[in-house]
Amino acid sequence: MYSFRDEKRMLFLTYLLCIALFVNLALLKQPMDKGALIMGGVMCVLIGYAHFIIRKFYPDGDKYILIFASILSVIGAAMLYRIDMTVAIKQVVWFVLGMAGYILIVVLLPDLKSFSKYKYIYMAGTLIFMGMATFIGRTLYGAKNWVYIGSFGFQPSELGKVFLILYLAAALRGYESFKQLIEPAIIVMISLGFMVLQRDLGSALIIFGISITILYIATSKLKYIIACLGLFSVGSVASYKLFDHIRIRVMIWKEPWKYSNDESYQIVQGLIAISSGGLFGSGLGQGFPKWVPVKTSDYIFAIICEELGIIIAVGIIIIYFLLCYRSMRAALKADDGFSQLAAVGFSAMIASQVLVIIGGVFNIIPLTGITLPLISYGGSSMLTMFFSLGILQKISEEG
């Protein structure tokens, strides 16, 4: 009873946030922008419908996964609408498709533990999607990680991460000896090799984060993690020596102000935006996002800091933390190894992606050029995230 009451309270606050953001956006224009009101209404209705379906027909699982994902999606859609209305409309379409996929996974997917036997299908999917852009990809912003079919473009590595998590969960669910690690280690190294060839540093970091997290949970061997860190360090140094693109990223990370008019222009403009927002922000619609390149994807967090302030930015980080916590909680309640490791892997994917992109925006680590989950614009990222959350929801239902 208390849990349901808390859920309703959180859902009400989500509606309130959505209404406040989109009404504010509507009032920024004269006459009032009815499109903002319609978009806010669509998101509220869809979030309410999804929660109703999950709560009514599948009452046993963790409903906060959906609520936290909805809060992040609302913030992302509102900021995108403020930056570029056309991009925001596309994002809401992806949000609708992602939410539909989330519901379908929970409703139609049978017992997840029965999927552990498809290890080699997951392996094939991992190798295909991780390597696809290496051979037929298109280079954007220095990384060859986009594949276009006609006018439709997507990042195959986003799907590759899902297959990799399922593969590692299936391969390591009954860990007994070191021999069992050889095949997964080869698959992970091949995946990292593809990311290096594609010059996709961000995805390489996320794959590494996912892999060592699942490895440690499956084996509880700290020596394996230390060995992996050593090998990753050697690979990072080798990549730095071999590829100009990575050397440039490190160079502008170390001295961003020295190259502020050229290679590090985006980093510097992002830092200026963050600092100008201060603690409470300049106000929604009162910032200057036009000075920040790639503001709808890589650097949307800098725009949030500028207009909504560091306090809201920290609140968003806390929401991500809570989402990862609820996902890990689902792993603790799962009753089979495959479901546990899959939940851990998806939790690690979310956490790694958030840490990598926010670290890059604040220039704590070299900029990697990935999306902020559920907030940045990106169809493949949105669908992958809701697909992953749907599996997590299913695991929590089974637990």
Helix or strand (DSSP H, E) at 144:
strand 143-149
Q: What is the rounded distance in angstroms from the CA atom of residue 87 to the CA atom of residue 81?
A: 7
What is the reported pLDDT for 151?
Answer: 73
Nearest to 194 by CA among 148, 125, 245, 134: 134
Q: Which of 283, 336, 338, 372 is nearest to 91 (CA)?
A: 372
pLDDT interval class at 155 (50, 70, 90): confident
pLDDT category at 142 given cuts 50, 70, 90 is: low
SS3 143: strand
Q: Across residues 239-252, what is the average pLDDT? A: 83
Contact 338, 330 (CB under 8 A): no
Q: Which residue has the higher pLDDT, 45 or 264?
A: 45
Supply the pLDDT for residue 1: 45
The string of pLDDT tens digits covering residues 165-215 is: 999 999 998 888 888 899 999 999 999 989 888 888 888 899 999 999 999
Q: What is the tens place of the pLDDT at every residue in 282-327?
A: 988 888 888 888 888 888 999 999 999 999 999 999 999 999 999 9
Residues 6-28, mean pLDDT to the nearest whole number: 91
Tell me what the pLDDT averaged over the chain comes to: 89
Residue 102's nearest CA partner among 347, 388, 396 is 388
pTM for this prediction = 0.92
Look at 39 and 137; give whichever has higher pLDDT: 39
pLDDT digits (tens, 9 = 90+) for 69-120: 999 999 999 999 999 999 999 999 999 999 999 999 888 887 788 888 889 9
Residue 399 pLDDT exceeds 80: no
What is the pLDDT confidence band of residue 44, given thresholds at 50, 70 and 90?
A: very high
- What is residue 8's predicted lDDT score, i.e. its pLDDT? 85
Q: How confident is the model at residue 266, as a pLDDT?
A: 87
Cβ neighbour number for residue 221 with a 10 Å cutoff = 14
C-beta neighbour count of 32 within 10 angstroms: 13
